[in-house]
Amino acid sequence: MQAVLERIFGFMPDWVVGLGLIALAIVGALLVDKLARMVVWRATGSQNSLAVPILQRTAGPARLALCLIAVALVLPLAPLDDELRGTLTHVFAVATIALIGWISIRAVDLVAGRYLQRIRGDIAENFLARKHVTQISVFKRVVDTLIIIVAISTALMTFNSVRQYGVSLFASAGAAGLILGLAARPLLSNLIAGVQIAVTQPIRIEDAVIIENEWGWVEDIASTYVVIRLWDWRRMVVPLSYFIERPFQNWTRDTASLIGSVVLHVDYAADVARIRNYLGEAARESKLWDGAVVNLQVVDTNTRTMELRALVSARNAPQSWDLRCEIREKLIAYLQREMPEALPRDRADISPPLGVFEKGGAHTAQFARAPN
């Protein structure tokens, strides 16, 4: 075969012939990949739903694998000197390591996606679904990160200069190793926190949380951070270690139902029983009330007013907020319309100056102003 190549391309330099053969092999591999995918797509793409995502997710690794196989077949036939052949062999080894890492990541993605397809997330109380989605998402990202780290480390170890430098660095420079460990501590702590969160489940995807005095939902859990979608559409990015080391509020840890409170200040002349009865009627008329809790109590008093607290329950945090606003508006309108004497007011006693006497009497006249 080499004699035939020398007879045909003898007028060209050897390195040009060698690189040309490698380029033709890569082009041929890409054409074979395209033809094979067209055949497989026509045969199974419209009938087997599983074949479509597999073809889409394995497109890149399959092309790289075919190119590496073609180069491996052509490289011994290429008329190259030892130095260039060694360089190309090294590149081939690094590409093979990248291919193995790429295939591993794609395999993890396929397994995770296939598992999540069986989980129903369209029901109201989907705690189990959110639990599995959180666990699979966190584990997948942690595994992907580890695969990338291992692949890069293995590829770097194929370079003699890097391998010798790394060995001498960790063998003789303890201070440098300590600095590297301190620099990597945030990354490692967040990776470990991700595993803890996936196992213990202090938060899940779409949990309602209060963190740093901000209220929102857990939108995404990455390998080192969590994205919180705040109520006004802002995004708060929090490191994973925060949820292991510091306290926070999770409003949907075990159930999404919440009890909301509405506080009113009314005059002592208010009829609390009537207000309590109206609160029950207002809750039953609302579509946001879940039918579990409705109550009204006098929780405090001062020199001017009584403090009433109304409790109403809803199915989730957004509905609880809307229900509280609705009940507050209805109670205020009811007091204005049916019980104006219950609205807060000020009282005062006014006495005239000394020396003012009634005609024919010896006592001081006292006057009092009626309540406003």
DSSP 126-174: -HHHHHHHHHHHHHHHHHHHHHHHHHHHHHHHTSHHHHHHHHHHHHH-H
Q: What are phi and psi of 100, to 5 degrees?
A: -65, -45
Surface-to-core class of residue 258, CB atoms within 10 Å of its CB (0-12 exposed, 13-18 middle, 19+ buried): buried
Report the phi/psi class of residue 233: left, alpha or beta, with left for phi > 0 and alpha for psi in -120 to 50.
Answer: left
* pLDDT at residue 325 in the model: 95
Whose CA is closest to 264, among 281, 284, 278, 250? 278
The whole-angstrom separation of Cα 181 and Cα 264 is 57
* 338 CB-side CA count, 13 A: 12
* pLDDT at residue 191 in the model: 72
Helix (H, G, I), strand (E, B) or coil at 326: helix
Surface-to-core class of residue 353, CB atoms within 10 Å of its CB (0-12 exposed, 13-18 middle, 19+ buried): exposed
Fold of 258-342: Alpha-Beta Plaits (3.30.70)
DSSP code, position 125:
S
Secondary element (H or E) of residue 108: helix 82-116
Segments in the chain below pLDDT 50: 1, 9-11, 165-178, 180, 361-372
Please state the domain extents for the chain.
2-180, 258-342
Report the first-to-last Cα separation within the chain, whole angstroms: 113
* pLDDT at residue 139 in the model: 80
Whose CA is closest to 257, among 202, 311, 314? 314
* Count of CB atoms situated within 10 Å of the CB of 274: 13
Query: 0.85 cut: is pTM over it?
Result: no
Whose CA is closest to 253, among 314, 209, 318? 209
* pLDDT at residue 51 in the model: 60
* pLDDT at residue 68 in the model: 78
Question: What string of DSSP letters covers 190-242?
Answer: HHHHHHHHHHH-SS-TT-EEEETTEEEEEEEE-SSEEEEEETTS-EEEEETTH
Label the pairing between strands 306-314 and 258-266: antiparallel
The two tokens of residue 119 are: 């989980």
